[in-house]
Amino acid sequence: MIASVQLPGERVNQESLQRKMEISCAEAVLLDRIRRHHALTKNDLVALTDFSRSKIAGCVNSLLEKNILTKDGYGNNNCGRRSVLYTLNGNRGLLFGADIGATSIDLIITDLNRQVLARYSEPALVADGPHKILDHVSELLTELLKNHGLVNKPILAFGVGVPGPVNFKQGMVVSPPIMPGWDQFPIVEYLEEKWPNTLVIIDNDVNIMALGEFTKQEGHDNKNIIFIKIGTGIGAGIISNGEIYRGSSGCAGDIGHICVDKNGPICPCGNRGCLEVLAGGAAIAERAMRAVREGKSPILKKYLEKTNGVLTAKEVGAAAKEGDESSIEIIRESGRLIGEVLAVLVNFYNPGRIVIGGGVSKFGNILLASIRQAVIKRSLPLATKDLPIAFSSIVDDAGVLGAINLALDQLLLRQISD
């Protein structure tokens, strides 16, 4: 066997590349800490990392030269010279965030410090297809830029959440059950043509909700979280050690298609008895319609007359608040099924927190209590001993804030590696 010989130039190049990677990783850590705390001094960064003062000073200077950081006044200091505060340079440009749901669009524009500059929401059907939805999203964002005097600001990054399995590396959805016409559609390329010089990143809507909740969490240091979205569909976003866990192909957390009844109704995915088709928003509405047909709920019948013969999960929640027994039972049954699936995840993953969001989460404590009971009943005592299960603190904003954070994370990673 002939031994390979490494030339001096090759060794120098490899060492240089390794050094660059180490610096980039260190800068990424500092940016993460600054992003979470908004503004920090070098002393703060020493306390929040295991880096030396000289390493932090070098990284901060590098980030200042790249125009990624800026000075933001002085921190409190009891003695000696006041320490400079460093924060992200919010004036460099704008971030777009779009949370495209099954029946709605939520949009947001922020600066690089994630200060909200414009916000908009409206009903929309993702089933209308990618051309119509993405064109409309671009039109709405253009209007927001005009209406808020932002047309001359550069758009640096655009984060998008969609309600289907996403191949994160390729930037497209793959075989989405509730998104006809979207399969393999090049979403990233399509939006980059409409927004030149803008970094476009897409991910599953539950992943961005999980990211939004994680970056907004207050009073919680746990970095292992499961975020459950309960709406038209049901999905889980998994935060592992502070990072979104997507799995090897990007579809981790698709719990809506776990079978809970092998003899159950057929799901849009083609299988029988999926959690989503038995406990999601459409299933809740269907059970409510059945209760009216069988004469079990005068209150739901009243709502049916007001809504021109169509009930949704929203009416079920309203009826439950009026004490309607049928609606309460429907909500409890959905909570039980969701909780039983969550118990499997708790036993497998042992999260530090479970957060519940999505439109159906607005049912309130009836739903939450049923989920908790099922999780505690079917999970190991050690896994649930100190496990908080709670509604999202930012239920209406988790998606768009997550989309902004997704865009910002990818933008900063690209810029520090350049």
Supply the Cα-derived Rg of the chain in whole angstroms. Answer: 24
Sequence spans of domains, the chain: 14-88, 92-207+398-417, 219-391
Confidence of residue 23 (pLDDT cuts 50, 70, 90): low
* pLDDT higher than 70, residue 254: yes
* pLDDT higher than 50, residue 16: no
Is residue 161 a contact partner of residue 205, using CB atoms and an 8 Å limit? yes
Residue with tokens 């009216």: 292
C-alpha to C-alpha distance for 341 and 378, rounded to whole angstroms: 9
- The DSSP output letter for 255 is G
Span 92-207+398-417: which CATH code? 3.30.420.40
Output the pLDDT for position 73. 83
Any alpha helices (H) in 258-364, and if so which ranges? Answer: 275-279, 281-293, 298-306, 313-321, 325-349
* pLDDT higher than 90, residue 376: yes
Residue type, position 59, single letter: C
C-alpha to C-alpha distance for 356 and 369, rounded to whole angstroms: 12
Share of the chain above pLDDT 70, in %: 91
CA distances from 202 to 106, 117, 173, 190 (A): 14, 21, 9, 12
CA distances from 382 to 344, 347, 379, 412 (A): 14, 9, 8, 39
Span 219-391: which CATH code? 3.30.420.40
Between residues 326 and 418, the one the model is more confident about: 326
Output the pLDDT for position 266. 94
Q: What is the pLDDT of residues 48-100, one digit of tens each?
A: 888 999 999 999 999 999 888 999 888 765 555 678 999 988 888 999 999 99
Share of the chain above pLDDT 90, in %: 65
Output the pLDDT for position 4. 45
| Multiple choice CATH, 14-88, 1.20.1050.10, 3.90.1150.10, 1.10.600.10, 1.10.10.10 | 1.10.10.10
Same fold, 92-207+398-417 and 219-391: yes
Average pLDDT over residues 87-114: 92
* pLDDT higher than 70, residue 105: yes
Output the pLDDT for position 78. 56
C-alpha to C-alpha distance for 386 and 23, rounded to whole angstroms: 38
pTM, two decimal places: 0.84
Q: What is the pLDDT of residues 263-298, one digit of tens each?
A: 999 998 899 999 999 999 999 999 999 999 999 999
Q: What is the pLDDT of residues 121-179, one digit of tens each?
A: 999 999 999 999 999 999 999 999 999 999 999 999 999 999 989 998 888 999 888 89
Residue with tokens 């414009």: 118
Output the pLDDT for position 12. 42
Q: What is the pLDDT of residues 188-210, one digit of tens each?
A: 999 999 999 999 999 999 999 99
Output the pLDDT for position 25. 81
SS3 314: helix
Q: Which neighbouring-strand residues pair with 244?
A: 239
